[in-house]
Amino acid sequence: MRDYDEATSFLGDWGPFQLTIFFLLSASTIPNGFNGMSVMFLAATPEHRCLVPDSANLSQAWSNASIPWEERDGQRVQSRCWRYRLDILTNYSARGLMPGVHVNVSNIEKEKCLDGWHYDQDVYQSTVVTEWDIVCDNDWKGPLTSSLFFAGVLTGSFVSGQLSDSFGRKKILFATMAIQTGFSIVQVFSTSWEMFAILFLIVGMGQISNYVAAFILGSEILGKSARILFSTLGVCIFFAIGYMILPLFAFFLRDWRTLLLALTVPGLLCVPLWWIIPESPQWLVTQGRIEEAEAIIRKAAKQNKVPAPAVIFKTAEQETKQRHIRRYTILDLIRTHNIRIITILTIMFWLIVSIGYFGISLNTPNLNGDPFLNCFLLAAIEVPSYIIAWQLLRHVPRRYSMCGTMLLGGIVLLLIQLVPQSLHILSTVMVMVGKLGVTAAFSMAYVYTAELYPTVIRNMGVGIGSMSSRIGSVISPYFVYLGAYNRLLPYILMGSLTVIMGLLVLFFPETFGRPLPENVDQTQNVKGLCCTKKSEKDHENSEELKNGIILMTTKL
Please report, for residues 57, 387, 512, the alpha-carbon distance to residue 449 in angstroms, rounded to integers and kept in the order given.
Answer: 66, 19, 12
DSSP label of 126: B
User: Are 251 and 391 in the same domain?
Assistant: no
* Whole-number pLDDT of residue 459: 60
501 and 382 in a common domain: yes
Residue 126 lies in a domain: no
Q: Please spell the DSSP secondary structure of 143-175, one letter per residue.
A: HHHHHHHHHHHHHHHHHHHHHHHHH-HHHHHHH
Measured distance CA(158)–CA(233) in Å, rounded: 25
**Pair 208, 342 in one domain:** no
Residue 177's pLDDT is what?
A: 87
Q: Of the candidates 297, 324, 351, which is a domain's last residue?
A: 324
DSSP secondary structure letter of residue 549:
T
Same domain, 309 and 441: no
Structural domain boundaries, residue 156: 1-39+136-324
pLDDT score, position 327? 64
Query: In angstroms, rounded to a whole number, what is the distance separating the alpha carbons of residues 259 and 251?
Result: 9
- CA–CA dist 432, 145 (Å, integer): 25
The whole-number pLDDT of residue 515 equals 66
Q: Is residue 130 part of a domain?
A: no
CB 71 within 8 A of CB 39: no
> Rounded to whole angstroms, what are the CA distances from 99 to 52, 109, 379, 514?
16, 14, 48, 76
Residue 371 located in a structural domain: yes
- Write the DSSP string, 12-76: -SSSHHHHHHHHHHHHTTHHHHHHHHTHHHHT----EEE---GGG---HHHHHTSS-EEEETTEE
- Residues 411 and 450 grouped into a single domain: yes
Q: Tell me the C-alpha distance between 208 and 153, whole Å.
A: 5
pTM over 0.85: no
What is the CATH classification number for the domain harbouring 14? 1.20.1250.20
Residues 363 and 430 reside in one and the same domain: yes
Same domain flag for 521 and 544 = yes
Q: Do both 13 and 67 map to the same domain? A: no
Single out the residue of 7, 14, 17 nearest to residue 302, CA to CA: 17
Burial class (CB in 10 A: 0-12, 13-18, 19+), 414: buried
Q: Positive or negative CA dihedral for 345, 346, 349, 354?
A: negative
Q: Does residue 283 share a domain with residue 186?
A: yes
Whether 129 is in a domain gets the answer no
What span, in angstroms and rounded, lies between the C-alpha atoms of 152 and 208? 8
For the chain, 556 residues long, the average pLDDT of each consecutive 10-residue run is 67 84 87 83 90 84 87 80 88 83 84 90 91 90 87 78 75 87 92 93 83 77 74 80 91 93 88 87 79 85 81 57 55 76 87 89 79 89 88 86 91 85 80 90 81 69 78 84 77 90 87 68 59 40 43 42
Element (H, E) at 84: strand 82-84
Query: Does residue 171 fall inside a structural domain?
Result: yes
Domain count, the chain: 3
Domain boundary among 276, 297, 324: 324
